Amino acid sequence: MTYCVVITTCESEAAAKAIAEHLVAQHLAACVQLIPIQSVYRWQGEVCREPEVQLLIKTRTDLFEAVEAAIQTLHSYEVPEIIALPILQGSGSYLDWLQAETQAADA
């Protein structure tokens, strides 16, 4: 089994919590951390500076497409950031927990 951290950002804490709670409730993620950040990015030819909330979503690699689809459905951005970074190593007990918490998605 392989695991990853999916990263996305939201415009508000409320929007981030809604996505996080949906992913955990549906067993698409074992854990989602919400972190307030400041983003600087180019959008439609202009440099933008905005406060955002970053979500670090811990999940199984084989669930990425379902996580991506859920984020796309719930997200307010036209083009939300949705990227996955592999978890190359982790403590056995943590990865066992991650596996167990996302197991219901197999049903």
Class of domain 3-106: alpha beta
Please tell me the least confidently modeled range out of 39-43, 75-79, 101-105. Answer: 101-105
- Assess whether pLDDT exceeds 90 at residue 55: yes
Tokens representing 35?
């972190």
Please report the pLDDT score of residue 103 as a whole number. Answer: 84
- Assess whether pLDDT exceeds 60 at residue 107: no
- Assess whether pLDDT exceeds 70 at residue 31: yes
